[in-house]
Structure 1
């Protein structure tokens, strides 16, 4: 099995910092269509997200349950379903003792991707990590994935290294999906039609 690993905030849904308000959740531009294409190509779909707001006391782990449910509802409109939703609740500068720690699951470390791969039999070398900051790219590269940076203005530090160099750069998830699909051969008919101006 191969997978598309997706950062949540700023990549899959519009970035509202430290928010678990489901009324504020909006898919990014044509994200539903992008995931349709990935699903058509046979990729399993996973969310891989840092949720430091838990460690910082802004919300609880339980608050992510309706967030996941709302995300499933938004994607169901496109016939898309997630195989998994993995999050890191930790932060070394957190204030909630149980979560205020260094860990191996907080991006840019690859722990969440490796856990998803182990639990679902994913071939990481045939998979992609897509995110809007270079920490996402580094996590993907450390896990052995191909990587895409969604260059939408959310990366502000630009600390460069070999591990933080994406395989592809795209302006949005929809563009990234079509570039990845084009690498695999002709697009399915439905998506050829949808991509025409």
Structure 2
């Protein structure tokens, strides 16, 4: 990551090796032209942003674009018992841990995107959600599986807690959580998909431009195995787990 940041920093300051070798008068002329033509300046800024993003995703440490599986949480990974937050009361869906490991072994990113309106309703706090996700990560590690990132939305327009009583762009069916992950990770969007148990999950995936599959509540490993079959295997090095808020 240091190499990427160094390159990008030099690029923005005009200090790449190529820039150093250009005549000074040419650089001054180019700057004058940019100042005198706002439209040209706008195009140049867009070009640089595009190149920075391409460099970061294609030539940086996370050089391999990889597909991802986005899991809803309640009703897909764990049984939906209504506003779950206590690890002692969590029941894994049958085959869920094995499903996550299968996705890991196939070289996909594994993400969780979950609405947690219980925070807005005052049933529990954000720290309880994070604590549960940390527990899930530890449980998955026992079987050699991991989740790359958790995203959750604590909002609800009818919430009792004022600061969470908002119409946001992260609560599914809005695609905000998915898009946030797409911005942070080098995801191959065309080969990625979401597994959810509600139409709002499907709608969020479609709005973000990825495929979606409605889980039928059966064995999750058996459900996902055909979706991974015949897809390219993406071998990656082990990496740390991130637990993020939505």
Normalising TM by the smaller chain, what interval? 0.7 to 0.9
Note the C-alpha offset of 1:66: 1.5
Shift of 1:144: 0.9
- Indicate if the aligned counterparts of 1:4 and 1:129 stay in contact, CA closer than 8 A: yes
In the other structure, the counterpart of 2:208 is 143
CA distance in 2, matches of 1:182, 1:19: 32
Q: Distance in 2 between matches of 1:184 and 1:120?
A: 20
Q: How does 1:74-113 map to 2 (within 5 A)?
A: 74-113=139-178
The one-character-per-residue Cα deviations of 1:54-84 (angstroms, maximum 9, x if unpaired) are 1111111111121011111221122111110
- 1:184 aligned residue (227, 231, 244): 231
Work out which of the two has the higher radius of gyration on C-alpha atoms and give 1 or 2: 2
Q: Could you say which structure has the higher strand fraction? A: 1
Unaligned runs of 5+ in 1: 153-170, 187-197
CA distance in 1, matches of 2:91, 2:125: 21
Gaps of 5+ in 2: 1-65, 234-246
Conserved? CA contact 2:72–2:113, under 8 Å:
yes
- Paired residues, what number? 168
Instruction: Verify the 8 A CA contact 1:148 1:176 in the aligned structure 2.
Output: no
> Any conservation in 2 of the 1:75–1:81 contact (CA below 8 Å)?
yes
Match of 2:97 in 1: 32
Give the conservation status (yes or no) of the 8 Å contact 1:94–1:100: yes
Mapped to 1, the partners of 2:194 and 2:137 lie a distance apart of 20
Counterpart of 1:190 in structure 2 is none
Bigger helix share:
2
- Residues in 1 aligned to 2:230 and 2:117: alpha-carbon distance in whole angstroms: 35
Cα distance in 1 between the residues matched to 2:71 and 2:103: 11
Distance 1:185 1:41 in 2: 8
**2:78 equivalent to 1:20:** no
**TM-score, length of structure 1 as denominator length:** 0.81
Which position in structure 2 is the counterpart of 1:43? Answer: 108
- SS across alignment from 1:47: strand
Distance 2:154 2:208 in 1: 19
* Residues 1:134 and 2:211 are matched in the alignment: no
**SS at 1:87's partner residue?**
strand
Find out whether 1:3 has 2:50 as its counterpart: no
